[in-house]
Amino acid sequence: MLHLKNCVTKVRFISTMTIQQAKTVWKKADAVCFDVDSTVIMDEGIDELAAFCGKGKEVSQWTVRAMGGGILFRTALRERLKIIDVSNDQLESFIEQNPLRLTSGIRELVKTLHDRGTAVYLVSGGFKRIIQRAAKELDICNENIFANTLLFDNEGRFAGFDENEPTSDSGGKTRVVELLKARYGYKNLVMIGDGATDLETYPTADMFIGFGGNVVREKVRMQAPWFVTDFKELLQELQPSHAVNGTEVHMNGLNGRERLLNGLNESEVPISSVNGTETHINGTRY
Ligand SMILES: [Mg+2]
């Protein structure tokens, strides 16, 4: 009986939404939450910070352990920050000396969403002070950033992180999505990200788009209702399409029949669950 119950719970989290249904939700999105590391920006903030502080190898070893499972997100965050032991001054230098690498197309996408009145949020397990640079570039206000806060003592020494931030714990991004939906009543909230913690926000989020423009995580690619490797794909869907002789013409140049001939009959794409390897596009290991 217990076994059956577990099976039912698991099935609930495997999407049965077709890509076409996902696109319909995307077109009427009233809020979009972007993950930051390897989504809005090309890098992983904590790895970059660790390398800057000369602790890159030790931290990446911990990251590999954490990804093996069985370790709480907060524990992994605490242990890695203990190794990095960044001071306030070091953090300032890191921010000054490491130019931001925004992912191609994100600027245009966020501007288009803002112009059409869609609320845009950054939801990250990374650090607010690092993320604020990206937010500024994208004209996203501080109130729309949900991320972790590093703490320092009076001498500027590392003193932990704010454990009250929902993003500092396992399932934190899902809690942020719940909070936003409860606070603002969003009906079509879309989460976009590259990682497993982004995927798990769905189905609390009304739709999830997997992003593989910087790194492809196989589980996300297979389980996301819609998976893209270029923000242009999302931008195109927001452009008006028009009908010619009864045939819908899409901005990407493929109509329904052409998609069928190309094996892209979206409504029939099966969504299944597999565990697999990750493909790293920019050559960085995560
Ligand atoms: Mg990410």
pTM of the model: 0.80
CB 116 within 8 A of CB 238: yes
| Centre of ligand 1 from the C-alpha of residue 76, in Å | 15
E strands, the chain, where? 31-34, 119-127, 145-148, 150-152, 158-161, 189-193, 207-211, 215-217, 226-228, 242-244, 247-249, 278-280
**CA-only gyration radius of the chain, Å:** 20
What is the average pLDDT score of the chain? 83
| Lowest-confidence pick of 7-16, 90-99, 114-123, 151-160 | 7-16
Residue type, 32: V
| Centre of ligand 1 from the C-alpha of residue 15, in Å | 20
The predicted structure's pLDDT at residue 15? 58
Q: Bigger pLDDT: 213 or 170?
A: 213
Tens-place pLDDT, residues 74-121: 999 999 999 999 999 999 999 999 988 999 999 999 999 999 999 999
Contacts 24+ apart (CB under 8 A), 204-209: 204/174, 204/177, 204/178, 205/33, 205/174, 205/177, 206/25, 207/17, 207/22, 207/25, 207/26, 207/29, 208/15, 209/22, 209/26, 209/234
| Centre of ligand 1 from the C-alpha of residue 44, in Å | 7
| Centre of ligand 1 from the C-alpha of residue 18, in Å | 24
| Centre of ligand 1 from the C-alpha of residue 38, in Å | 5
> Does residue 270 have a cis bond before it (omega within 30 degrees)?
no
CB 190 within 8 A of CB 22: no
Q: Annotated active-site positions, please?
A: 35, 37
Q: How distant, in Å, are the alpha carbons of 49, 98, 123, 127 from that of 92?
A: 11, 10, 22, 13
| Centre of ligand 1 from the C-alpha of residue 33, in Å | 12
Q: What average pLDDT does the segment 154-161 reach?
A: 96
Cβ within 8 Å of residue 56, ≥6 positions away: 47, 50
| Centre of ligand 1 from the C-alpha of residue 1, in Å | 37
145, pLDDT greater than 60:
yes
The predicted structure's pLDDT at residue 67? 67
